[in-house]
Amino acid sequence: MTDLHGKVAIVTGAGRGLGRSMASALVQAGAAVTVAARTGAELDAFVDEAKAAGGQALACPTDITDEAAVERMVAATVETFGRVDILVNNSGIVASTPLLEQSAEEWDRVVATNLRGTYLATRAAGRHMAAQGSGKVVNIASNFALQGVAAHAAYSASKAGVIAFTRSMAVEWARHGIQVNAIAPGYFATPLNAELRADADATAKVTRAIPARRMGRPEELEPWLLLLAGSASDFMTGEVIVIDGGQSVR
């Protein structure tokens, strides 16, 4: 039920970290995958690796906050592979700034990437999914959307918006045969938090707040992505899967 041969996926924020890991999992499951991010060189490297392993992939450098660029990303996918079956909205940025010190520009940048980008990509891909009567949208939220975290108001609010958006679209698009679900990860060891992990004291502070006493490994997210991208989730929509080592239920 996680065999994705014949399916076409788009993964945003796929240049590195969780996005790259999830794109790789989709390729290994048989899907043709468009990888999108601002970093073209990293995308090209991914495509080379996918093709060397016998998979199909397309690099599409994209500013996820740019409506025209997002439309081009989806159009390029359909032109190359013929359809869109799976969308993984993974693009996101973090700002660790106390609210009283945060500029409106930084707030807008976080919300534009994390929430507006999710909306733009979902709308563009959703048109094709609705026309074909099937599709899977997997939105990457965060456990920060489920708990109070100091100095992360913009990030937490944007990811909470992603969860609300997920539930609204699940209801709206169920009649089109489209399932819309979300994954809310906690701390995973990725390039995004490399600086934090390089600081032993900071790492210890973070892991003390996680009942599992460690960060997640990117490959631990992959089975859940494949569940939501494959036929196993055909009767599952509007759900949020939290994968954070128990951090949000302390």
Query: How would residue 2 be classed by pLDDT, with cut points 50, 70 and 90?
Result: confident
Please compute the mean of the pLDDT values over residues 126-145 and round it to a whole number.
98
User: Annotated catalytic, 155?
Assistant: yes
Query: How would residue 192 be classed by pLDDT, with cut points 50, 70 and 90?
Result: confident
pTM metric for this prediction: 0.97
CATH number assigned to the domain covering 8-249: 3.40.50.720
Please compute the mean of the pLDDT values over residues 111-132 and round it to a whole number.
98
pLDDT reported for residue 102: 97
Tell me: pLDDT of 195 over 90.
no
Please compute the mean of the pLDDT values over residues 231-247 and round it to a whole number.
98
Please compute the mean of the pLDDT values over residues 140-158 and round it to a whole number.
96
Please compute the mean of the pLDDT values over residues 96-125 and round it to a whole number.
98
From the list 107, 155, 165, 224, the catalytic residue is 155
pLDDT in tens, 69-89: 999 999 999 999 999 999 999
Tell me: pLDDT of 39 over 90.
no
Residue type, 148: G
Tell me: pLDDT of 114 over 90.
yes
